[in-house]
Amino acid sequence: MSGQLERCEREWHELEGEFQELQETHRIYKQKLEELAALQTLCSSSISKQKKHLKDLKLTLQRCKRHTSQEEAELVQQMAANIKERQDVFFDMEAYLPKKNGVTDEVFNFLLVWYYCTLTIRESILISNGSRIKGWWVSHHYVSTFLSGVMLTWPNGPIYQKFRNQFLAFSIFQKGFQSWMWRGLTFLLPFLFCGHFWQLYNAVTLFELSSHEECREWQVFVLALTFLILFLGNFLTTLKVVHAKLQKNRGKTKQP
């Protein structure tokens, strides 16, 4: 028993030494982490301050440009180019800084991906069982799934925030309208066209944002193109369906 006790005592002293080293390592880690957090806060604050001053300076230069000589105009143009270059540097700096918490938007976009995936799976099952679902309405859900996936990968930033509220409002309108349509309220055709033109509005907004000087994300142009495809497909297909129903109704009225 004494030999086992001595071995346990030695192991305890070894563990005690390792524990002391662990405590010291953890103390240094906490210190470095606090220093890192302080540096991150300082960098974010300094970048925001610089961006605000540069924005004010840019507006001042735009006003001065109207009343300058040729030589002064070249100076204004050079300063504007320097401001643009500085904004690119800020974008690279911010890539290494922690972003604001957007977990809510990510969950929402993930749910949209899940929703459209389940629709495509359900339609595939219906088609395999003999359903006559075909044409654009099948492709529509694949395109919408792709769009939701791109939205999910779009990082939070100034361009995203410019489009965020418009997209959320559109999504709420679309889901609400689809739930009404499933209840058989087919007289809501004007709201259906409203949703189609809202897709066109989203496309136009995103095309404009893609040419914004602060835009660096590839998702903006891709989403603009996808919304345009959705608008064209939905609008033209709906017109075709409405025209076919009108022709059918006219044929019934002509019958004796």
Per-residue confidence of the chain (256 residues) as pLDDT tens digits? 567 777 887 888 888 888 888 888 888 988 988 888 888 888 888 988 988 888 888 888 888 777 777 777 788 888 888 888 887 788 778 777 766 646 788 888 888 888 888 888 887 777 777 766 667 777 888 898 899 899 988 888 778 888 988 998 888 887 776 666 545 445 567 778 888 899 999 999 999 999 887 788 899 999 999 999 999 998 888 888 777 777 776 666 665 5
In a domain, 3, yes or no: no
* End position of a domain, from candidates 66, 94, 122: 94
Residues 29 and 137 in one domain: no
| 224 and 108 co-located in one domain | yes
Q: Are residues 232 and 145 in the same domain?
A: yes
- 76 domain-assigned: yes
Domain final residue pick, 94, 115, 146: 94
CA distance 55 to 160: 19
Same domain for 59 and 138, yes or no, is no
Number of domains forming the structure of the chain: 2
* Angle of the 136-153 helix axis to the 219-254 helix axis, nearest 10: 160
> Tell me, what amino acid is at 24?
E
Show which of 94, 127, 143 is a domain's final residue: 94
In a domain, 1, yes or no: no
Task: Say if 127 falls within a structural domain.
Answer: yes
Residue-level pLDDT at 230? 92
Residues 129 and 247 in one domain: yes
Looking at the structure, tell me whether residues 41 and 119 fall in a common domain. no
Residue 174 and residue 152 share a domain: yes
Q: Is residue 150 one of the residues assigned to a domain?
A: yes
For residue 84, give both structure tokens: 């643009």
Q: What pLDDT is recorded for position 201?
A: 94
Q: Examine the domain organization and report whether 89 and 183 are in the same domain.
A: no
pLDDT at 222: 94
Same domain, 34 and 75: yes
Amino acid occupying residue 108: F
Identify whether 2 is part of a domain: no
pTM over 0.75: no
4 in a structural domain: no
Report the pLDDT value the prediction gives residue 173, as an integer from 0 to 100.
84
b/e for 222-247, b at 16 or more Cβ within 10 A?
Answer: bbbebbbbbbebbbebbeeeeeeeee
92 class by beta-carbon count within 10 Å (0-12 exposed, 13-18 middle, 19+ buried) = exposed
Domain region containing 69 = 9-94
90 and 107 share one domain: no
